[in-house]
Amino acid sequence: MTVILRSEELTKIYETGEVSVVALRDASFEIEEGEFIVVLGPSGSGKSTLLNILGGMDRPTSGRLYYRDAPIHEATARQLTLYRRKAVGFVFQFYNLLPNLTASENIRLAAELVDKPLDVKDLLEDLALIEKADNFPAQLSGGQQQRIAIARAAVKNPDILLCDEPTGALDFATGLQVLKLLQLLNRKLGKTVMIITHNQAMAGIADRVFHLKDGRIETITVNAQPVDPEEIVW
């Protein structure tokens, strides 16, 4: 297996006035292509900071991050933009669809960023959302919006999908659908998926689980037998 992301002692310190807050401390790990990772931790444990740095949304205060040997920690703003464009797809807790673009337009917005996007119509069909294609986000349920958001992340055909509490705003059944979708993308298309959550129950579906506390990766556990989302309960 190829290592897709390599993190060496990543540290992020926020300076606010005279107070400095260490949000992430010496995070070192490797993620292989096609892995399904769940990052677990209570709020304030540094999950989002880690995700943001891995996704090129924020810069580490110190430490090194490599995407397929490319040093992301040294990247210029322009290189970071290209990294986000080509390598990463984001899924957010509150979907963040652009409110005045329709479902399909939101997906096409992302598709226009890359040379070889997936087919928007195929994606909508796969997600069983074809009949909602022309609806605006406000006309969709939370689960539908999140599925569109996942399609929007996937359409660029990125190597890595980074998901920030993707089921956090959804009820159990809808959340389950979203997780199944992510697993499908992981298994069928070989995407590396990283989900951050405070929901312990989700640990079961991951290949590996990172446990974060106070900005530190306390342990990394390996699931020999990841389960299907249907088998977990929360």
User: Going along the chain, which residue ranges are E strands?
Assistant: 3-16, 19-32, 36-40, 62-67, 70-71, 88-91, 160-164, 192-197, 208-213, 216-222
**How far apart, in whole angstroms, are the C-alpha atoms of residue 140 and residue 128?**
13
Residue 133 near residue 141 (C-beta atoms within 8 A): no
Stretch near other proteins under the rule CB under 8 A, chosen from 24-32, 37-45, 78-86, 172-180: 78-86
Q: Is 135 an interacting residue with respect to other proteins (CB under 8 A)? A: no
Q: Contacts with other proteins in 50-69 (CB under 8 A)? A: 52, 55-59
Q: Which of 159, 186, 212 is nearest to 29 (CA)?
A: 212
Q: Is 213 an interacting residue with respect to other proteins (CB under 8 A)? A: no
Q: Is 78 an interacting residue with respect to other proteins (CB under 8 A)? A: yes
Q: Is 73 an interacting residue with respect to other proteins (CB under 8 A)? A: no
Q: Is 85 an interacting residue with respect to other proteins (CB under 8 A)? A: yes
Q: Which of 129, 70, 51, 147 is nearest to 121 (CA)?
A: 129
Q: Is 88 an interacting residue with respect to other proteins (CB under 8 A)? A: yes
Stretch near other proteins under the rule CB under 8 A, chosen from 34-42, 62-70, 150-158, 195-203: 150-158
User: DSSP secondary structure string, 120-168?
Assistant: HHHHHHHTT-GGGTT--GGGS-HHHHHHHHHHHHHTT--SEEEEESTTT
Q: Is 169 an interacting residue with respect to other proteins (CB under 8 A)? A: no
Residue 211 near residue 53 (C-beta atoms within 8 A): no
Least Å distance, CB 108 to other proteins, is: 5
Complex with other proteins: residue 124 or 209, whichever CB lies closer: 124
Complex with other proteins: residue 63 or 89, whichever CB lies closer: 89
Q: Which of 186, 218, 200 is nearest to 32 (CA)?
A: 186
Q: Is 26 an interacting residue with respect to other proteins (CB under 8 A)? A: no
**How far apart, in whole angstroms, are the C-alpha atoms of residue 58 and residue 113?**
20
Q: Is 152 an interacting residue with respect to other proteins (CB under 8 A)? A: yes
**The only residue of 132, 156, 191, 208 in contact with other proteins, by rule CB under 8 A:** 156
- Tokens 């190829």 correspond to what residue? 2
Q: Is 110 an interacting residue with respect to other proteins (CB under 8 A)? A: yes
Stretch near other proteins under the rule CB under 8 A, chosen from 35-43, 97-105, 195-203, 209-217: 97-105
**How far apart, in whole angstroms, are the C-alpha atoms of residue 119 and residue 2?**
27
Positions in the binding site for other proteins (CB under 8 A): 48, 52, 55-59, 77-78, 81-86, 88-90, 92, 94, 96, 98-101, 105-106, 108-110, 112-113, 138, 152-153, 156
